[in-house]
Amino acid sequence: MLTGLTIRDVVLIDRLDLAFGPGLAVLTGETGAGKSILLDALGLALGARADSGLVRNGAKQAVVTASFEVPDGHGSQDILEEMGIDADGPVILRRILTADGRSRAFANDEPVNVATLKRLGETLVEIQGQFDQRGLMDPATHRETLDQFGGHGALLEKVGRTHASWSAARAAHRKAREELERARADEELLRHNVEELDAAAPEEGEETRLASDRTLLANAAQILEAMNGAAGALEAEDGAEQAVATAQRILERVRDRAGDRLDSVIDGLDRAAAEIQEAQHALSQIASDVEADSGRLEEVDDRLHLLRALARKHDIEADRLPELHRALSARLAALDDAGGGLADLAHVEESSRADYIEAGKALTEARCIAAAKLDKALTDELVPLKLDKAQVKTRLEPLDENDWGAAGMERVSFQVSTNPGAPFGPLARIASGGELSRFLLALKVVLSEANPVSTLVFDEVDSGVGGAVAAAVGERLARLGSDTQVLVVTHSPQVAARGLRHWHVAKQADGELVKTAVSQLEQGERREELARMLSGATVTDEARAAADSLLNPA
């Protein structure tokens, strides 16, 4: 609900602060007094197109601030949270327009772009005028409007869910098919690479191991010479083995006389003797192995050359060849088995499509039922608005399958025939200005419970009507105001009398300057304004009596 509107330096308004409450509020005044300026200012705060002509002559900038109280879970809060803006408390929209046409927008004192301001505004206020192409005048809103009227939330949720599943299944099938087509194109090369790796049969860590073997074999002569020298040194008459044995014999002769003092020394010599024997055995074994493998150098070189050539071919490290072998083998196996996998994906896609169609048909049937109810309710509302010859038809037009989406399988539009036998067509093309305003009012009355917007603004909805029709317009606006905040710019006393609040817009001269002033009328002032609207420039007692009857109907 709009709670406050602050306007600074907009056209003829220099300073204006208005406070609003629930229910129906009316704005009246002479033609040209500036009522449309108020709507232009409000539109500016709601993200409408900015025009530097709105800046008051001589001012540097125009500023408009609109404040709203919203319930928890309101759509505006979702948008604020999406933008990272604090959504607690009131929603405050501000627009600054400079004299050179530049514009800045703010939501809850945080800078936002105008597109975001407009998104917020569309969740808070709906302005209906004879030439306004937003709201119900925009066919893009008709499907959502019908679903709100019919209470199709659960059906829409199911359609959206099944459409998402179908889309995912379709994408997976398409991706697999494209991958298969690419793989088929490279199948000959893939098979050749797998056969080549099958033949090579690379092993984990093989290249590292072979490189070590090659270093050993390439230096076999020097290594054998060194090992033979070491073995000779150990086995010589004055070598380590003989020296340790001599020391053992000498100490064993006096061991008993020394108590246990020599035990650790003798044990150490025993270990040294054992280690020397093991070292001699190892040297002998290694020397035998080196001598036995001395003819493998060429074989190792050939194997390393093969592995490294394969690694260069596939632009990887040689030790990753086994991993590549497994991956290419798996791709080839998948290619050989692709027919079955594609068939499974095609089945999932078709099953998901069937689920979507089932959910979509259920939604379509519900929309047909809701459309019939809506058409009847609208026709009933049009009779007292002097549009009894008009017919309303909610049209459901099936979409091509390529256009099916999360919102269903049809396009929805509200169409009108204003005279018997005349063709049906869109609201804006078929109805005249005055008729269009009444059509929109009837739609709003019928759809009031389904409308998520808490503030409705009507600009001269009573244009071109009077008497009983104007009274019917006022009665419907008052009915709307019982559940929704409604602001109406009107020239009809029958409509103005229905307002819970009455604002009067007038021009005032301030020296050479002319300004627009807005004042809230009390009961006596309302009587005079209604009498003026009834009688014109000269207010008569008869007009005052008529105003009394409008304000206090029997």
Residue-wise pLDDT tens digits, 99-111? 988 999 999 999 9
Q: pLDDT at position 97, please? A: 93
Residue 378 lies in a domain: no
How far from 103 is each of 36, 44, 47, 374, CA to CA, in Å?
21, 10, 10, 41
Range of the domain at 318: 183-338
**394-400 average pLDDT score:** 94
**162-184 average pLDDT score:** 88
Number of domains in the chain: 1
Q: Which one of 153-167, 188-202, 405-419, 540-554 scores highest in mean pLDDT? A: 153-167
Residue 465 lies in a domain: no
Q: pLDDT at position 101, please? A: 87
Name beta bridge partners: 15.
8
How far is Cα 196 from Cα 374, in angstroms, rounded to an integer? Answer: 73
Residue 310 lies in a domain: yes
Say if CB 462 and CB 440 are below 8 A apart: no
How far is Cα 183 from Cα 180, in angstroms, rounded to an integer? Answer: 5
Tell how strand 125-129 and strand 455-459 pair up.
Answer: parallel
Residue 20 lies in a domain: no
48-96 per-position pLDDT tens digit = 888 888 898 888 999 999 999 998 888 899 999 999 999 888 999 999 9
Residue 388 lies in a domain: no
Banded pLDDT at 133 (limits 50, 70, 90): very low
Mean of the per-residue pLDDT values of the chain: 83
Residue 525 lies in a domain: no
Share above pLDDT 70 across residues of the chain, in percent, rounded to a whole number: 85
Banded pLDDT at 152 (limits 50, 70, 90): very high
Residue 315 lies in a domain: yes
Residue 266 lies in a domain: yes
229-260 per-position pLDDT tens digit = 666 666 666 667 777 777 777 777 777 776 77
Q: With b meaning 16 or more CB within 10 Å and e meaning fewer, what string describes 355-382?
A: bbbebbebbbebbeebbeebbebbbebb
Banded pLDDT at 540 (limits 50, 70, 90): confident
261-307 per-position pLDDT tens digit = 777 877 777 787 777 777 667 666 666 656 545 556 677 788 888 88
